[in-house]
């Protein structure tokens, strides 16, 4: 089989395509082993916690191997594809002759000698082992004297015997009975005496069976048998083998009635971000219902304007412009909370986020420096943002650095909601469905186009007055769009 030198095969590792991302899922391979690739050619599409991204290969060659199949989540820094940069035609290198043996350095010989030595047995009762030369436990050059514990036990036994003699209970002692007659004391070891005491057996009535007339435990049990159940003879304690771990229970469900979808990629990141936001920033949501009939008329006029030809013109465009004007009138709403520094950071630019529902989950790309764009420029940016999101081509950079967000729940026929802030942002505006409703207009009830707006904001840096002013300004502009000119 043809072999390739390490230098001829280049390993392409999973890059960090965002800021601080740790993993990505391989969605699709565009090449297979044996395919020729060139520098800059896209070889696969991966999904990170932020978006789907296409990865180009940084060199020319022939694909040697794909290390992971589609659908696999791979850590950043792990090699995912190998490419033979010689084109796969390099001949197998001849096997290099073994170099002549040369004397090893002294330190190397010392390490080899240590490695070659057989492992010394551990000292009994000791959990320590010799490690490397010069470290760890030093081997003793002398043998220990026999433990003194045995001598101490002999001395304690002798002292106990003397004390027992003094108490009239020595092995050769005599107990003085009331009648003045001496009766030899039965011979038994202390544990046997305790057993007899516990069972209520008089050792004087027990027939000894041990050597030299010593009473054993069995003798005591035999004497107690008529009235007592013999005490079981304790067996030496042996360590029972650890039970094998029980296998993890297999989760079963009816596949015909349930479908399980792994939480990963964009959905996993969104879930974590929303939980973090909900339990970090104190949310407040305010609502206003407004007549947007004039705004819809202006949308129709703009669609016919030659300066807006080819651009996406819809109510969201004017709602975005209204929010930008409201922020200009109330700049403190465009801020973030710095927990570490305990400061409020007021932004002098607006990166306007637009929530977009995609097959991979909800993403929020943003329009950079939206406050500086004209209406045609804003319409162009909105169109590109929406189309890119629907195609799954939104880059991680497009979803970073947002300051405020608009979420259009009205496209789903929803009247309004209480949106959760994107982490690091101060406010989010939810736009409900625009419906023809009875409305009091110029003193009369007439059918008008009406919608409900909801503004959620971080109450740590936006108080009720500021939040109310921003929401009221947006509503006022949508009710009277000419304020886009007078307030801008």
Please work out, in degrees rounded to the nearest 5, the angle formed at the alpha carbon of residue 90 by the alpha carbons of 86 and 93: 130
Using an 8 Å Cβ cutoff, are 327 and 313 in contact?
Answer: no
The HSE-up count of residue 283 (CA atoms within 13 Å, CB side) is: 23
Kindly give the residue spans of alpha helices, DSSP state H, lying in 337-396: 375-390
User: Which of these, 78, 58, 77, 54, lies nearest to 67 by C-alpha position?
Assistant: 78
For residue 48, count other CB atoms closer than 10 A to its CB.
Answer: 21
Using an 8 Å Cβ cutoff, are 87 and 62 in contact?
Answer: yes
Paired with 299 in beta bridges are none
> For residue 352, what are its two tokens?
């306007």
On the 0-12 / 13-18 / 19+ scale of CB atoms within 10 A, 295 is buried
Using an 8 Å Cβ cutoff, are 429 and 455 in contact?
Answer: yes
Using an 8 Å Cβ cutoff, are 187 and 212 in contact?
Answer: yes
Distance from the Cα of residue 41 to its chain's centroid? 33
Q: How far apart are the first and last CA of the chain?
A: 74
Using an 8 Å Cβ cutoff, are 423 and 270 in contact?
Answer: no
User: Which of these, 388, 386, 408, 390, lies nearest to 320 by C-alpha position?
Assistant: 408
CA distances from 2 to 31, 88, 93, 94, 104 (A): 22, 10, 9, 11, 34
SS3 content of the chain, % helix, strand, coil (to 5): 30, 25, 45
Using an 8 Å Cβ cutoff, are 257 and 445 in contact?
Answer: no
CA distances from 82 to 6, 7, 113, 202 (A): 11, 12, 40, 88
Q: Which of 169, 174, 441, 459 is catalytic?
A: 459
Distance CA(478)–CA(107), nearest Å, equals: 83
Per the annotation, the verdict on 459 as an active-site residue is: yes
Which residues form the catalytic set? 459
């Amino acid at each position: 089989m043809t072999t390739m030198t390490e230098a001829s095969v280049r390993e392409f590792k999973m890059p960090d395509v965002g800021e601080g991302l740790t993993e990505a899922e391989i969605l699709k391979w565009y090449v297979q082993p044996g395919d020729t690739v060139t520098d800059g050619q896209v070889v696969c599409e991966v999904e990170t916690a932020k978006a789907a991204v296409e990865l180009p290969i940084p060199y020319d060659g022939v694909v040697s191997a794909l290390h992971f199949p589609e659908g696999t989540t791979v850590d950043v820094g792990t090699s995912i594809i190998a490419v033979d940069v010689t084109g796969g035609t390099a001949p197998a290198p001849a096997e290099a002759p073994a170099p002549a043996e040369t004397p090893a350095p002294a330190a190397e010989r010392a390490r080899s000698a240590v490695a070659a030595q057989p492992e010394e047995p551990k000292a009994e009762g000791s959990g320590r082992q010799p490690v490397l030369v010069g470290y760890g436990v030093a081997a003793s050059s002398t043998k220990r004297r026999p433990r003194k514990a045995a001598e101490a036990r002999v001395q304690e036994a002798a002292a106990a015997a003397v004390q027992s003699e003094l108490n009239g209970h020595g092995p050769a002692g005599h107990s003085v009975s009331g009648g003045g007659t001496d009766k030899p004391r039965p011979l038994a070891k202390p544990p046997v005496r305790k057993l007899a005491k516990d069972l209520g057996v008089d050792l004087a009535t027990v027939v000894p069976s041990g050597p030299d007339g010593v009473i054993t435990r069995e003798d005591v049990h035999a004497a107690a048998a008529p009235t007592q159940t013999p005490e079981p003879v304790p067996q030496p304690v042996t360590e029972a083998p650890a039970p094998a771990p029980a296998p993890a229970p297999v989760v079963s469900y009816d596949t015909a009635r349930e479908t399980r979808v792994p939480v990963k990629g964009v959905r996993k990141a969104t879930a974590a971000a929303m939980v973090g936001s909900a339990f970090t920033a104190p949310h407040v949501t305010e609502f206003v219902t407004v007549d947007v009939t004039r705004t819809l008329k202006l949308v129709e006029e703009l669609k016919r304007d030659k300066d807006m030809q080819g651009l996406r013109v819809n109510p969201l465009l004017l709602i975005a412009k209204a929010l930008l004007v409201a922020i200009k009138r109330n700049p403190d709403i465009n801020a973030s909370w710095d927990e570490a520094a305990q400061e409020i950071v007021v932004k002098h630019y607006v990166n306007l986020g637009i929530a977009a529902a995609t097959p991979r989950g909800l993403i929020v790309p943003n329009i950079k420096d939206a406050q500086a764009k004209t209406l045609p420029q804003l319409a162009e940016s909105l169109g590109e943002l929406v189309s890119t999101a629907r195609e799954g081509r939104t880059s991680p950079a497009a979803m970073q650095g947002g300051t405020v967000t608009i979420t259009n729940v009205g496209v789903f026929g929803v009247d309004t909601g209480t949106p959760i802030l994107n982490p690091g942002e101060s406010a989010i505006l939810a736009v409900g469905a625009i419906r023809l409703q009875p409305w009091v207009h110029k003193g009369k009830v007439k059918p008008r186009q009406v919608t409900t707006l909801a503004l959620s904001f971080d109450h740590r840096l936006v108080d009720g007055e500021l939040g109310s002013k921003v929401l009221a300004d947006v509503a006022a502009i949508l009710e009277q769009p000419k304020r886009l000119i007078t307030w801008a």
